[in-house]
Amino acid sequence: MKMTEEQRKAMRITVDYTNMTDKYLGDKGYSAKQLDSYKYTAKVAHEYVTDNRGKDELFMGWTELPYNQKEIVADILETAKAVRKKFEYFVVLGIGGSALGPTMAFNALCHLHYNDLPKSKRKGPKFFVEDNVDPVRMKELLDIIDPAKTCFNVISKSGATSETMAQYLIISDILKAKGLSIKDHMIFTTDASRGNLVKISKELGGVKSYILPDGVGGRFSQLCPVGLLPAAVLGIDIKTLLQGAAYMDKLCRGSHDFRKNPALLCATLQYAAMKDGKNIGVLMPYSDNLRYVSDWYAQLWAESLGKNVTLDKKPCNVGQTPVKALGVTDQHSQVQLYTEGPYDKVVTFLSVTSYKEKTPIPHGCENIPDVSFLGGHTMEELIQAENKATAYALTKAGRLNYTITLPEVNEFTLGQLLFLFELQTAYAGAMFNIDTFNQPGVEAGKKATFALLGKHGYEAQKEELDQADSDPAYVV
């Protein structure tokens, strides 16, 4: 749906950093002068991201995804229509960003009990994301789906992701055993011309495939076919999702003044907090629809910023540990720590102005004041009051916090939010002068796994790992 400028403005998400300032936190907050000291750093970061937009060699192709996928989106919509018509189940086989993004969008924009709805009330097939290699998980997925009625979306750029390809081998073996065509039951999302899934597709006579672009890393891939295909199958409006991302890009691209650029503001606040020893960043949505945004964000933030060397090869060890919390749930589990524990955190609230349901609370228990005061209000009022109260309590305790507000949760606002977080991450990485888009620490673990399972070429590392078994002296 094409939105007017007035509609876009009405759905604009905002960032309120009142509770990061000395006006409300005293000496625990930042003065205007302190924040101004980061103006130049923010300007340089903004220029770096702007100057390198779209450069595949720097893995910044994600910046152009809101604009360069018209034909791809049209093809995805046709494929999604066919999948909805033919299949009762749609299963994503992937890990990392290939799984977190589709899960997050599904939870945000579909009914919270989507898979439990009768077919007549769902916009698409039942949806599952297999993002682990726990053997129990795979077995129990197969207890509830019928492979003959399932489309499997295999997502791996290289086709060498051990977890995803183990899943592929299991599913393809089941399909063959049932006399079913692998080609007819699978869609690949992979590299354009290289990698194992390209080879497999050719061997199978051409599996329907979508491209994971060269300049788009896994954690930045939700707005390309990795995330767009599953979303479209579920009936999510992917065109409006991309419009939301483009709108946030427009808000941020034109200004290096962090007070006028929402993503640069968030990056500057987090950078200042990290410089001040706030090494834990809590993301706390007050919406069950947004709870998996925290999981998606945790990978984006941790994998992008956790680095031990700068671009000019100087040792660093930077980054901030992301922690996911859910309001109101985690007021009853984590907020005690945030309010009275160490001063090592900054809390980001995700708030919603208008929920898609209000749910009135009836009057009752009139002789019990602790209960009766709730009558006549709505659950929307209650969750919003608890959100405001938690921010107030943290502020009174001198704890850094700020709020990102979505007017409502829909495709346009989610697109904005995702692009804001992606730009925030790119800006923050530029501030630290690190490679925001690699993940050498992840690769080390992958290689050790290859060695342990006897992959050719890793024999020396296998021998080293065999010698590094637990010392019985330290096993209790």
For each of the chain's 476 residues, which pLDDT tens digit applies? 688 999 999 999 999 999 999 999 999 999 999 999 999 999 999 999 999 999 999 999 999 999 999 999 999 999 999 999 999 999 999 999 999 999 999 999 999 999 999 999 998 999 999 999 999 999 999 999 999 999 999 999 999 999 999 999 999 999 999 999 999 999 999 999 999 999 999 999 999 999 999 999 999 999 999 999 999 999 999 999 999 999 999 999 999 999 999 999 999 999 999 999 999 999 999 999 999 999 999 999 999 999 999 999 999 999 999 999 999 999 999 999 999 999 999 999 999 999 999 999 999 999 999 999 999 999 999 999 999 999 999 999 999 999 999 999 999 999 999 999 999 999 999 999 999 999 988 877 778 788 778 888 888 888 777 777 777 788 88
Active site includes 278? Answer: no
My answer on whether omega of the bond before 91 falls inside 30° of 0, hence cis, is: no
Instruction: Measure the CA–CA gap between 402 and 350, rounded to whole angstroms.
Output: 9
Give the pLDDT confidence score for residue 462 in this predicted structure. Answer: 80
Active site residue 456: no
Q: Are the C-beta atoms of 25 and 398 separated by less than 8 Å?
A: yes
Q: Which position has the token pair 């299991």?
A: 170
Is-contact 271 432, C-beta < 8 A?
Answer: yes
**119, 313, 314, 332: the active-site residue:** 332
H helix or E strand, kind and range, residue 369: helix 369-372
Selected catalytic residue, list 377, 446, 447, 462: 446
- Those residues whose C-beta lies under 8 Å from the C-beta of residue 357, and which sit 6 or more positions away, are 379, 380
> Do the beta carbons of residue 361 and residue 306 sit within 8 Å?
no
Q: What is the pTM of this model?
A: 0.96
As to burial, measured by CB atoms within 10 angstroms (0-12 exposed, 13-18 middle, 19+ buried), residue 312 is exposed
Distances from the Cα of 63 to the Cα of 223, 361, 433, angstroms: 10, 44, 19
- Say what the pLDDT of residue 463 is: 78
- For residues 383 and 386, give the distance between their C-alpha atoms in angstroms, rounded to a whole number: 5
d(CA 86, CA 238): 21
CB atoms within 10 A of CB 80: 22
Q: How far apart are the first and last CA of the chain?
A: 62
> Looking at residue 1, what is its pLDDT?
67
* Distance separating alpha carbons of residues 6 and 172, to the nearest angstrom: 50
The C-alpha atoms of residue 94 and residue 331 are separated, in whole angstroms, by 32
Q: Which residue of the set 303, 380, 411, 422 is catalytic?
A: 303
Residue with token string 């080879």: 199
Q: Which two tokens stand for residue 248?
A: 């946030």
Given a contact cutoff of 8 angstroms between Cβ atoms, the answer to whether 173 and 185 are in contact is: no
What six digits make up the tokens of 199?
């080879």
**Do residues 352 and 286 make contact, with C-beta atoms less than 8 angstroms apart?**
yes
Is residue 303 part of the annotated active site? The answer reads yes
